[in-house]
């Protein structure tokens, strides 16, 4: 290397006197920041509006009876949705038990083994499944479970919701696993850890928080679904803990009460909606806290 | 104890591109061997062939013969078995971010089903000592994530992690390229001590480093091994003109 060479590199860059930042740009800077804040507010506004309105309409009907009793016949005051709250929890439990492992498994396949034609087919089908109207999913569960069992059941409702959860969980899991750097996988391979072990204990574990976000999104989405439960879980006015019997669900109860002509039922429908949303928020928050509790400093 | 490595007629490919051409080399047990050469000359590909890491890349393949001690690498040995005997330290420190310091070091054993708590404690303790990291991390082995350490500490953590599975050979792919001189010094010192127990193959861009730590040096150029000899000879009196040009800084 010679000296003239290194000098000329510097000489190649022309001297530029940067003009001071103009007023227009400074104003624009603030305007754009304002726009960004505004859009956030716009996005959050409906959420708060819905929640506030639910509280306003529903809180009055929430009492101990509402949370502990089954519905009363029309005209009798009191009664509650306890059986529907329990039914929703059972149905969502079944849906999560079936849908979460299946979805995560599919996501693992897509990310770790599906970087090929076959994976593309699965991806495409999963995206299509995501777009299938929920009532159609209900028909599928009807055909798969109800027709065979000869009656409606919590299991059928759970299967319908599980089918809805799978594509969302699969695709987010895939995306989250792809974000894990190849170097992390190589580190495990380099220690003589087998591929499936690496996938489960290293890759999936590194992506845990993202995968859980996907699971919670899917969960929250199906928790409020009504259409797929109409002819699967069907609803029930009484307590039922058997998974092969028609089961009440909050969303079904809200639907039935909301389209009824009775004021008392309308009020209870509002209360039911409030309880449903609180339950969803509580479930998501609980999982988040549990995950954060297990996370190390600096991770 | 370390074991020697014998490589015969090794060719490596990425899809249709050939990256290594007929490499022959014998690496001495319990010595450090440095591989130098300009970027893209195949040094990294070469050491990744020694523990079958090369084939984790889609469409990559290898031809030829590699012996680690008396274990034939490309002849029926499972890659996972082999990699327990041939540890690797990568260019960029890659601790497992969700694991504590302790778990990072214990990972190789734990994930292979080793659960003996007391022995794990001992292995972690010894490995961290061997990688000269113990004093810096002993107070928060379980509390801090491996990713919370500084770059140089992370790299030493990765070395501890590799040592914990008690390999016979340690492959180091530019282990100091992202580190400051102090951390580099610590790792070089470490290589010096590790030589007593392990066979070390180190890829480096830093020729002074090769001269400092290695008894033998191989010079790679365009996928070929141009020269392989005692480090002293490579740097003072190389047989090949291209080696001389490279080590004297005339190109590369």
DSSP B28: P
The DSSP-derived string for B37-54 is -STTSSHHHHHHHHTT-G
Give the model's pLDDT for residue A73: 84
pLDDT at position B65 over 80: yes
First to last CA, chain B: 36
Q: Does the beta-carbon distance from B100 to A184 stay under 8 Å?
A: no
Q: What is the 3-state secondary structure (H, E, C) of chain A?
A: CCHHHHHHHHHHCCCCCCCCCCHHHHHHHHHHHHHHHHHHHHHHHHHHHHHHHHHHHHHHHCCHHHHHCCCCCCCCCCCCCHHHHHHHHHHHHHHHHHHHHHHHHHHHHHHHHCCCHHHHHHHHHHHHHHHCCHHHHHHHHHHHHHHHHCCCCHHHHHHHHHHHHHHHHHHHHHHHHHHCCHHHHHHHHHCCCCHHHHHHHHHHHHCHHHHHHHHHHHHHHHHCCCHHHCCCCECCCCCCCCCCCCECCHHHHHHHHHCCCCHHHHHHHHHHHHHHHHHHHHHHHHHHHHHHHCCCECC
Reported confidence tier of residue A2, pLDDT bands at 50, 70, 90: very low
Report whether B11 contacts B58 (CB < 8 A).
Answer: no
| Total number of domains in chain B | 1
Residues on chain B touching A206 (C-beta within 8 angstroms): 96-98
Distance CA B52, CA B81 (A): 11
> Using an 8 Å Cβ cutoff, are A146 and A230 in contact?
no
User: What residues of chain A have any CB closer than 8 angstroms to a CB in chain B?
Assistant: 115, 181, 183-194, 197-198, 201-202, 205-206, 208, 295-299
Region of A89 on the Ramachandran plot (φ > 0 left; ψ -120 to 50 alpha; else beta): alpha
More confident residue, A159 or A8: A159
pLDDT in tens, A237-270: 888 888 889 999 999 999 999 999 988 899 999 9
CATH number at residue B84: 3.40.50.300
What is the model's pLDDT at position B73?
Answer: 86
For the domain made up of A78-249, give the CATH fold: MetI-like fold (1.10.3720)
Contacts of B161 (CB under 8 A, 6+ apart): A187, A191, B95, B104, B105, B107, B108, B127
Dist CA B107 CA A98 (whole Å):
31
Residue B65 lies in a domain: yes
How big is chain A, counted in residues?
Answer: 299
DSSP labels for B177-232? TTS-HHHHHHHHHHHHHHTTTSEEEEE-S-HHHHHHH-SEEEEEETTEEEEEEEHH
Taking alpha carbons only, the member of B193, B183, B137 closest to residue B163 is B193
| Interface size, chain A vs chain B, as Cβ–Cβ contacts under 8 Å | 95
Tell me the C-alpha distance between A233 and A222, whole Å. 14
CB A245 within 8 A of CB A83: no
Hey, is B240 helix, strand or coil?
coil
pLDDT of residue A80: 87
Residues 6+ apart with CB under 8 A from B197: B1, B2, B30
Phi, psi (rounded to 5 degrees) for A16: -125, 130
What is the percentage of chain B residues whose pLDDT exceeds 70? 99
The encoded tokens of residue A288 equal 């988040």
Count CB neighbours of A255 within 10 A. 18
**Set of chain B residues whose Cβ sits within 8 Å of the Cβ of A186:** 53, 56, 88, 90, 94
Give the range among A9-13, A136-140, A184-188, A224-228 with minimum mean pLDDT.
Answer: A9-13
Which of A115, A192, A299 is nearest residue B98 as measured by Cβ atoms? A299
User: Ramachandran region of residue B165, left (φ > 0), alpha (ψ -120 to 50) or beta?
Assistant: alpha
Pairing of strands B17-27, B5-14: antiparallel
User: What's the first-to-final CA gap in chain A, in angstroms?
Assistant: 45
Contact residues for A116 (Cβ-Cβ < 8 A; gap 6+): none
| Closest partner CB to A297 (pick from B94, B107, B148) | B148
Taking alpha carbons only, the member of B71, B19, B73 closest to residue B46 is B19
Distance CA B218, CA B28 (A): 13
Range of the domain at B51: 5-95+167-247
| B75 belongs to a structural domain | yes
> So what's the pLDDT on residue A238?
87
Q: ipTM of the predicted structure?
A: 0.89
The pLDDT tens digits of the residues spanning A145-161 come to 999 999 999 999 999 99
pLDDT computed for residue A8 by the predictor: 59
Whole-angstrom distance, CA of residue A270 vs CA of residue A67? 14
Interface test with B, best of A115, A180, A296 (most B CBs within 10 A): A296
Which has the closest alpha carbon to A250: A41, A118, A71, A5? A71
Question: What are the residue ranges spanned by the domains of chain A?
Answer: 78-249
Confidence of residue A4 (pLDDT cuts 50, 70, 90): very low
Q: Tell me if B157 is assigned to some domain.
A: no
CB A232 within 8 Å of CB A205: no
In whole angstroms, what is the distance from residue B28 CA to residue B70 CA? 13
Q: What is the pLDDT of residues A92-144, one digit of tens each?
A: 999 999 999 999 999 999 999 998 999 999 999 999 999 999 999 999 999 99
pLDDT band at B252 (very low <50, low <70, confident <90, very high): low
Is B94's CB within 8 Å of A191's CB? Answer: no
Q: List Cα–Cα distances, A206 to A180, A194, B3, B97, in angstroms.
A: 7, 17, 34, 7
Report which of B182, B178, B135 is spatially closest to residue B155, judged by C-alpha positions. Answer: B178
B67 inside 8 A of chain A by CB: no
Residue B234 lies in a domain: yes
pLDDT at A294 over 80: no
Mind listing the pLDDT tens digit for each residue in A20-71?
888 999 999 999 999 999 999 999 999 999 999 999 999 988 888 889 988 8
| Span B130-169, pLDDT tens digits | 888 898 998 989 988 988 998 889 999 999 999 999 899 9
User: Can you tell me the distance from the alpha carbon of B66 to that of B54, in angstroms, rounded to the nearest whole number?
Assistant: 13
Q: Residue A298: closest CA among chain B residues belongs to which residue?
A: B148
Determine which of A182, A192, A294 to mutate to test the interface with B (most B C-beta atoms within 10 Å): A192
- pLDDT band at residue B206, thresholds of 50, 70 and 90? confident
- The answer to the question of residue B82 being in a domain is yes
């Amino acid at each position: 290397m010679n000296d003239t060479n290194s000098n000329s590199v510097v000489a190649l860059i022309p001297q530029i006197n940067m003009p001071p930042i103009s007023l227009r740009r400074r104003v624009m800077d603030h305007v754009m920041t304002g726009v960004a804040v505004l859009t956030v507010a716009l996005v959050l506004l409906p959420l708060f509006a819905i929640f506030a309105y639910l509280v306003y309409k529903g809180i009055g009907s929430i009492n101990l009876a509402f949370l502990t009793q089954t519905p009363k016949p029309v005209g009798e005051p009191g009664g509650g949705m306890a059986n529907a709250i329990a039914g929703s929890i059972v149905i969502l439990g079944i849906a999560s038990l079936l849908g979460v492992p299946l979805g995560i498994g599919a996501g693992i396949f897509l990310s770790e083994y599906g970087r090929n034609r076959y994976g593309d087919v699965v991806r495409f089908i999963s995206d299509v499944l995501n777009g299938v109207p929920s009532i159609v999913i209900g028909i599928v569960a009807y055909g798969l479970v109800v027709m065979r069992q000869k009656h409606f059941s919590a299991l059928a409702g759970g299967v319908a919701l599980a089918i809805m959860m799978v594509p969302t969980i699969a695709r987010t899991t895939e995306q989250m696993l792809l974000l894990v750097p190849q170097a992390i996988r190589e580190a495990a391979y380099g220690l003589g850890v087998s591929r499936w072990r690496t996938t489960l204990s290293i890759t999936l574990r590194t992506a845990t928080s993202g995968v859980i976000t996907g699971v919670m999104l899917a969960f929250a989405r199906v928790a409020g679904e009504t259409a797929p439960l109409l002819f699967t879980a069907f609803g029930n006015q009484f307590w039922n803990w058997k998974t092969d019997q028609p089961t009440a669900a909050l969303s079904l109860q809200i639907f039935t009460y909301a389209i009824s002509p009775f004021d008392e039922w309308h009020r209870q429908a509002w209360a039911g909606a409030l309880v449903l949303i609180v339950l969803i928020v509580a479930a998501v928050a609980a999982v988040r806290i549990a995950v954060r509790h297990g996370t190390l400093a600096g991770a | 104890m370390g074991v020697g490595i014998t490589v015969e007629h090794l060719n490596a490919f990425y899809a249709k591109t050939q990256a290594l051409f007929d490499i022959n080399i014998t690496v001495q047990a319990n010595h450090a061997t440095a591989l130098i050469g300009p970027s893209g000359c195949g040094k990294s590909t070469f050491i990744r062939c020694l523990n079958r890491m090369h084939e984790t890349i889609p469409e990559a393949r290898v031809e030829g013969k590699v012996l680690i001690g008396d274990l034939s690498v490309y002849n029926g040995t499972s890659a996972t078995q082999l990699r327990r005997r041939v540890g690797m330290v990568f260019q960029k420190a890659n601790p497992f971010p969700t694991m504590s310091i302790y778990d990072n070091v214990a990972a190789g054993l734990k994930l292979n089903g080793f659960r003996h708590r007391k022995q794990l404690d001992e292995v972690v303790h010894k490995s961290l000592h061997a990688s000269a990291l113990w004093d810096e991390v002993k107070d928060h082995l379980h509390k801090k994530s491996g990713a919370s350490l500084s770059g140089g500490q992370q790299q030493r953590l990765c070395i501890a992690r590799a040592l914990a599975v008690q390999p016979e050979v340690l492959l180091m792919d530019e282990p100091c390229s992202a580190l400051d001189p102090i951390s580099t010094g610590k790792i070089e010192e470490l290589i010096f001590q590790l030589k007593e127990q392990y066979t070390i193959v180190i890829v480096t861009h830093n020729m002074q480093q090769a001269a400092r730590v290695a008894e033998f040096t191989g010079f790679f150029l365009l996928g070929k091994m141009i020269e392989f000899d005692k480090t002293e000879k490579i740097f003072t009196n190389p047989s090949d003109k291209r080696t001389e040009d490279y080590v004297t800084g005339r190109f590369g």
